[in-house]
Amino acid sequence: MILANGMIYGSEEQGKLLADLENRINATRSGAPLPAETVISALDRMAEKMEQGCFDELIPEPELREAVGFAAGMLHKDALLHRMQTELPALPAEIGRLQVRRVPLGTILHIAAGNVDALPAFSVIEGLLTGNINLLKLPQADKGLTVRFFQELLAIEPVLTDYIYVFDTPSSDLSGMQQLAACSDGIVVWGGDAAVSAVRQLASPGCKLIEWGHRLGFAYVAGNLAQTDALEALAAHIVTTRQLLCSSCQVIYLDTEDRAEVRAFGERFLPLLEAAAAKLPPDIGADAERSLRRYTAKLERLLSGKVPQDRTVLQGEGCSVTVCTDNALELSEMFGNVLVKPLPQAQLLPVLRQSKGYLQTAGLICPPEQRGALTELLIRAGVNRIMLPGEMSGTFPGEAHDGEFPLQRYTRIINILT
Amino acid sequence: MGALERLFAVRDPFAAERTEAVFVKAMQENCRYQYRHCPEYRKILDGIGFSPSDLNSTEALGELPFLPTALFKKHHLTSMPGWRIPVKATSSGTKGQFSKVGLELGALWNGLWMVLRMAKYRKLLSLRPVNYVILGYQPHKGNDMAVMKTAFGSTFLAPALHRCYALRYENGRYTADLEHVLEHLRRYVKAGHPVRFMGFPSYTYFLLQMMEDRNVHLQLPRGSKIMLGGGWKQFYREQVDKQALYDLIRRVLGVEEENIIEFFGAVEHPILYADCPAHHFHVPVYSRVLIRDVRTLRPVPNGTPGLVNLLTPMIKATPLCSVMTDDLGVLHDGCECLCGLKTPYLEIIGRVGLKEIRTCAAGAADILKGAAP
């Protein structure tokens, strides 16, 4: 399904639409720019519609409806204005002889990943807020929610018609992807290394790339007696995110070199993890998935011959803690199966540097007097979010994304001399 | 004669009790063969600490390490050199992830007997020529999909006068053409020979719905049969609409329920399951189904839902003796079905957790594996 010129087309119309796309974009760009107020007020009305349940038929799962409510909160006028002010603070009108102005990047191609349902729409919204024309390539997993969202939005504000194009071009359609890229001043890509590398091949050297790649999260625990409530919050985070998010905790690092201490921590943490897992509603499908993945991973290890050196799996009910002796940041088996590793403060920076480009969130558990120094150390090692253990995956108004304010990347600063 | 040959020589495909011992023996022979010829399989058994000689009782079937279908998608597991494997089949994976499974001549021969026995059970063997409507893929040499092969294979159960395909191969790609099918169908009805449908339940449904919308109602000639089949997945998704489909078939084609036969099978477990007249899938002698607890992966008693583990000694070329699907199912006692068959029957109730791996953390790990020491 394609959304272009405010209308729905079948995928087979792609060729015709792409052939005319550059002309249409140029016509739009020759006209008056898209005022942010128009976008904000349209999104505000959209948020109301969402809260009234206009997507309920498409979203049967109650827990996902909750997510829609949450998403709607981010689209309300105050939230958007707050975000604009934070990310795009006012520029001085002139600096010396120069006039200074912020304008849209131009045309942005969004290549969205399928791991969060609302992501494709959110990426385009960021493009709209900054006044850009947006070409969206849908992820394969999209089930029609995104197109429906924009249809509703266009019904609210028809002016946006010329700023939103949604294509269902498969990534394998190289020529289609190239035509989309050729129309764009910038490409936003969400996804794994394969997706990012593919886009680097696709884009001409002059095209700006905005890459939101995959990341790995971890927790750092320092101090002899980590408080039980902090560990409980961490356990709840691990279980509820199922360790599937970039910000999810995969590894718990302990500020120690002592193997016995790592083991003792694992034994202390397991019952907390079990208690958190027991609170999840019983879900036969998720349990089956988890068991099957663990079993498959075990067979993979047998096949590769790489039996992890000195690892002890402490098996719990519906979860596990693996006590390790190495200190590499790596993906856990997910679904409530966390790794515990020794990492004394002195080694923290060099070890984390080996994962540069993949660092994002650290959940820090430590005595208050160490918090400042450890936070600085994590920052110097390349971590972008230092969070409380229970809120590693929290979303906050005004927060940066992987070390940047996204809206700034979707704009350019203009200098004019008169 | 080896245990495998004895198993496939049994005339009644549902005589499970009589064949229990020979099934276990054939499994042991197969396991031993895989252990000797597939290095990966050997690594797994050694790693888990299971020896083929341990496979000496019905209970031991549950101890035999099973291979998840995901493993066949990542690794090309084989126990024979390529030249001994005339048939290579792939599952119809939609995400570019599919299993490659090879079948050697012996397995094909045994498979042929299996198909004939199941076909006989459902009264599909006939010398009367028929016209075939294949609501699936037209064969061509670049397509290894198992569904296509089984659909084509089914057109030999009775001599074929003509075959027409819903998914036609033209200019290097498949296109769906239901109009073409409808045109032929009218011709077949006029000709008066029995017609046989074979294909995905979903396509059958689309075609018949289209006919009903246009008020096209035909009466297929006597002896016509509707065969429905596809992967496990199609079967599960369409299940809710089963009765609606049967009713539609009766209204639009004039074929009664007893002449509707459903099949299923999976590339990783190429055993033909045909439904009984009560539309239950009883386990044939060539296969065993174990349902495993979703947490402990231990076998559970009949009537308890869990992961579906499929066992068969039929194939030597690929270590398929015990395969774990990602389906959830229940095995019911045979006596719960009124059709008279005594072997238990399998009901698929769903699929495991997340439909696909939707995680961003996993992507980052791929590169780190390469980068970190």
Which residues of chain A lie closer than 8 angstroms to B354, CB-CB? 286, 289
The total domain count for chain B is: 1
For residue A334, what pLDDT is reported? Answer: 84
Which residues of chain B lie closer than 8 angstroms to A292, CB-CB? 68, 70, 307, 324, 326, 352
Which of A101, A166, A99 lies closest to A131 in space, CA to CA? A101
Which residues have C-beta within 8 Å of that of residue A238, sequence separation ≥ 6?
A: A248, A249, A273, A276, A319, A336, A338
Give the dihedral of Cα atoms A387, A389, A392, A393; nearest 10 deg.
Answer: -150
Whether B173 has its CB under 8 Å from any CB of chain A: the answer is no
Q: Does residue B53 form part of some domain?
A: no
Distance CA A59, CA A68 (A): 9
For residue A62, what pLDDT is reported? Answer: 63
Q: How confident is the model over B13-47, as pLDDT tens digits?
A: 998 888 999 999 999 999 999 999 999 999 999 99
Average pLDDT of the residues in A236-241: 91
Which of B294, B348, B351 best probes binding to A when mutated, by most A CB atoms within 10 angstroms? B294
Which three-class secondary structure state does DSSP give residue A317? coil
Residue B358 clears pLDDT 50, i.e. is over it: no
Question: φ, ψ for residue B207 (rounded to 5)?
Answer: -60, -50
pTM above 0.80, yes or no: no
Residue A204 clears pLDDT 80, i.e. is over it: yes
Q: How confident is the model over B142-180, as pLDDT tens digits?
A: 666 665 666 666 677 788 888 888 877 777 777 777 788
Least confident of A267-276, B213-222, B345-354: B345-354
**What is the CATH number for B115?**
3.40.50
Q: Does residue B180 form part of some domain?
A: yes
Whether the Cβ atoms of residue A277 and residue A232 lie closer than 8 Å to each other: no
% of chain B beyond a pLDDT of 70 = 84
Distance CA A305, CA A310 (A): 14
Distance CA A184, CA A25 (A): 10
Relative to beta strand A359-365, strand A385-387 is: parallel
Over chain A, what is the mean pLDDT?
Answer: 90
Which residues have C-beta within 8 Å of that of residue B49, sequence separation ≥ 6?
A: none
Distance CA B284, CA B344 (A): 9
Pairwise CB contact (< 8 Å): B359 & A245: yes
Pairwise CB contact (< 8 Å): B43 & A303: yes
Report which residue type is found at B199: G
Pairwise CB contact (< 8 Å): A287 & B361: no
Query: What distance in Å separates residue A389's CA from the closest CA in chain B?
Result: 18
Which pair of structure tokens corresponds to residue A134?
A: 């947006």
Whether B148 has its CB under 8 Å from any CB of chain A: the answer is no
Pairwise CB contact (< 8 Å): B295 & A140: no
Question: Which domain covers residue B225, as residue numbers?
Answer: 111-266
> Counting runs of H as helices and runs of E as strands, what totals does chain A give?
14, 17
Among residues 180-239 of chain A, which lie with CB inside 8 Å of chain B? Answer: 191-194, 213-217
Where does A263-377 show beta strands of DSSP type E?
Answer: 312-316, 319-323, 337-342, 359-365
- In sign, the C-alpha dihedral spanning A398, A403, A407, A411 is positive
For residue B235, what pLDDT is reported? Answer: 43
Which residues of chain A lie closer than 8 angstroms to B44, CB-CB? 299, 302-303
Q: Does residue B322 form part of some domain?
A: no
CATH number belonging to the domain at A216-391, selected among 3.40.309.10, 3.40.50.720, 3.40.640.10, 3.30.420.10: 3.40.309.10
Please name the residue of chain B whose CA is at the shortest distance from the CA of residue A328. Answer: B372
- Chain A to chain B, count of Cβ pairs less than 8 Å apart? 140
Q: Does residue B120 form part of some domain?
A: yes
Among residues 76-135 of chain A, which lie with CB inside 8 Å of chain B? Answer: 113-115
Distance CA B211, CA A192 (A): 45
Q: Give the closest of B95, B324, B361 to A244, CB-based.
A: B361
Q: Does residue B236 form part of some domain?
A: yes
Q: How confident is the model over A120-154, as pLDDT tens digits?
A: 898 999 999 999 999 999 987 777 788 989 999 99
Q: Does residue B256 form part of some domain?
A: yes
Pairwise CB contact (< 8 Å): B297 & A217: no
Whether A295 has its CB under 8 Å from any CB of chain B: the answer is yes
CATH number for the domain whose boundaries are A2-214: 3.40.605.10
Q: Does residue B79 form part of some domain?
A: no
Q: Give the closest of A115, A245, A289 to B353, CB-based.
A: A289
Pairwise CB contact (< 8 Å): B373 & A354: yes
Whether B359 has its CB under 8 Å from any CB of chain A: the answer is yes
**Which residue in this structure is represented by tokens 């910038």?**
A186
Q: Give the closest of B351, B354, B372 to A328, CB-based.
A: B372
Whether B1 has its CB under 8 Å from any CB of chain A: the answer is no
Distance CA A357, CA A402 (A): 10
pLDDT band for position A244 (50/70/90)? confident
Pairwise CB contact (< 8 Å): A292 & B365: no
Q: Does residue B91 form part of some domain?
A: no
pLDDT band for position A307 (50/70/90)? low
Which of A401, A406, A414 lies closest to A129 in space, CA to CA? A406
Question: φ, ψ for residue B323 (rounded to 5)?
Answer: -120, 135
Whether A393 has its CB under 8 Å from any CB of chain B: the answer is no
User: What interface predicted TM-score (ipTM) does this complex get?
Assistant: 0.81
Among residues 92-131 of chain B, which lie with CB inside 8 Å of chain A? Answer: 95
Give the dihedral of Cα atoms B110, B113, B117, B123; nearest 10 deg.
Answer: 140
Report which residue type is found at B35: Y
**How far, in whole angstroms, is CA A97 from its chain's centroid?**
41
Please name the residue of chain A whose CA is at the shortest distance from the CA of residue B308. Answer: A288
Report which residue type is found at A154: L
Most distant pair of Cα atoms in chain A: their distance: 72
Element (H, E) at A211: strand A208-213
Whether the Cβ atoms of residue A146 and residue A121 lie closer than 8 Å to each other: yes
Pairwise CB contact (< 8 Å): A285 & B71: no
Whether the Cβ atoms of residue A254 and residue A288 lie closer than 8 Å to each other: no
pLDDT band for position B98 (50/70/90)? low
Q: Give the closest of B295, B361, B373 to A287, CB-based.
A: B295
Domain edges within chain A: 2-214, 216-391
Question: φ, ψ for residue B238 (rounded to 5)?
Answer: -80, -10
Relative to beta strand A2-4, strand A7-9 is: antiparallel
Whether B361 has its CB under 8 Å from any CB of chain A: the answer is yes
